[in-house]
Amino acid sequence: MASLGFIGLGIMGNPMCRNLMKGGHRLHVYDISPQCIAPLLALGATACRSSREVVEKTEVTFIIVPDTPDVAEVLFGAGGAAEARAPGKIIVDMSSISPVETKEFAKRLAAQGIDMLDAPVSGGEVGAESGTLSIMVGGKESVLEKVKPYLDLLGKTITHIGDHGAGQTAKVANQIIVALNLEAICEALLFASKAGADPVKVRAALMGGAANSRLLEVKGEWILAHRFQPGFRVKHQQKDLNNALSAARKLGLTLPNTATTQELYNAVAGQGGADLDHCALITALEQLSNHKLA
């Protein structure tokens, strides 16, 4: 039994904590929203008053918060993890953030003797609940070996990509594929509907062929039902695509379809949909086409 820390107890963090506790580990947790902590306290977790306290009381601390500035605050803000001055401790950032900033965060922590891994995840709320996430890891392989028994409780696929920032680079690539795949599904179902075919039956047919994907299976159903209660919010998809486009500019790389899809997400957010599930992308296409999926 290990003493583990977890910072960020939202849609993803809460079920991930539960899986670590099911594995027999003690959890010290912190979140800026007290209501996120309560369900875990009922299961035996210990609440902390700051990120610093979490790191001080644990061997390994996991972080999963929305964006790069949030990770910076958790690590280096007032009461942040870096204030713990805890050589030998390990911090595993499972957020999806900028690969460039991740490298800088790891360097600053290393100067204090704290090892960091960037280990963003794919699989959404369903994967977090079932412990079947795909985890992409950047950092020292020797540090990964120390925390792998805990990651095994959270995911079914754990891949060491390379040095610091490599895990985040893999996640950016993942999010490009997710966004463009989802956009293609929305277009295809909208086309079928406008052409007079039953989009429910079209989806069923597509799932038996080369066009099938996990997104078509899961989010295709959500799109047809206009089910937009978030598993993964529009604003988080925007953030991930912004990371992709920002990095592409620095690399001198052109990502035209990523840019177009980001503009569609911007349209959804502009209509008040930033907190909807990212499959609400269909609403932007419906508006452009003056046709509602039916």
- Both tokens assigned to 38: 């309560």
Strand pairing report for 133-138 and 121-122: antiparallel
Helix (H) or strand (E) holding 63: strand 60-63
Q: DSSP state, 65?
A: -
* Catalytic pick among 103, 171, 219, 235: 171
Strand partners, 170: none
Q: Quickly count helices (H) and strands (E) in the chain.
A: 13, 9
From residue 58, how far is each of 51, 72, 190 by CA, in Å?
11, 20, 50
Residue 171: active-site member: yes
Q: DSSP state, 123?
A: S
- Both tokens assigned to 178: 């997710």
Q: Are 218 and 122 in contact (CB under 8 A)?
A: no
Q: Are 27 and 21 in contact (CB under 8 A)?
A: yes
- The catalytic residues are 171
